[in-house]
Amino acid sequence: MRTLRPVTALAALLLAPLLHAEEFTRQWILPLPAAEAQLQRWRLVELREGNGIRHEEYVPRDQVAGDYRDRILLQRFAANGMTPDAYLGHIASGLGTHCQGFAPGGMTSSQRNGLNSATRTAFCGRFGSRDYGYVLAQKAILDGDFLFVVEREWRIPAFSIDEQGLPGLGSTGNGPVLKELKLAQRWLLESVDPAAPALATEPGSTSTLAASPQTSRRRP
């Protein structure tokens, strides 16, 4: 049974046919981080493209798409007038309705090389009735009429969130995620920048989001 994808499912609601959109202005080659715990390269497990939409999913080489702990999602789609801040806020609001215990992190907005962006984190203690929750670090960048969204995701055993909105990760054996989250936030802020040279942490560990449209393939 395929894993539910709360964030990508919500994002799909925003995707509409692309009409007279201003083309994105950068050739997007994204350096992927080292898989923190495994120190292995990421592998592409899904790629879909068409109608101005591109979606990529990556997991470490020792994990599988249907039963992963770590995942990176990359998306490009028409912004339809939505800013990076508004998009991440919309995603957080939708995800929160599916979580038993939800704590969104603070939003950080910035402009770099003429492109507006926003980053934030989110903690979902338990997704629906599942025995797992999510920790997310996200960045959205507006380029032309397109949004580019990069998400680092952890799917981990369910955890509590207290009244102050603090996740109880240490009590469930999920403590290492907090360290990995800090590394991911640094990666999003410093490396996820389309105008910067693509310096992958390992040879070949890059993603090109501005590939030719109207293609679709899937890798196991």
What's the pLDDT score for residue 178? 87
Label residue 172 by pLDDT band (50, 70, 90).
low
Measured between alpha carbons, how far is 26 from 4 in angstroms, rounded to an integer?
32
pLDDT reading at 92 higher than 60: yes
Q: Under a CB-based contact definition with an 8 Å cutoff, are residues 210 and 195 in contact?
A: no
Provide the whole-model pTM.
0.77
What's the pLDDT score for residue 203? 36
- Sorted by where each starts, the structural domains of the chain and their CATH numbers stand as 6-205 (3.40.1000.10)
What's the pLDDT score for residue 96? 92
For the beta carbon of residue 133, count every other beta carbon within 10 angstroms.
Answer: 27
What's the pLDDT score for residue 128? 94
What's the pLDDT score for residue 9? 46
pLDDT reading at 97 higher than 80: yes
Q: Which amino acid is located at 165 in the chain?
A: G
| DSSP annotation string for 73-113 | EEEEEE-TT--HHHHHHHHHHHHHTTBSSEEEPPPEEEEET
DSSP 161: B
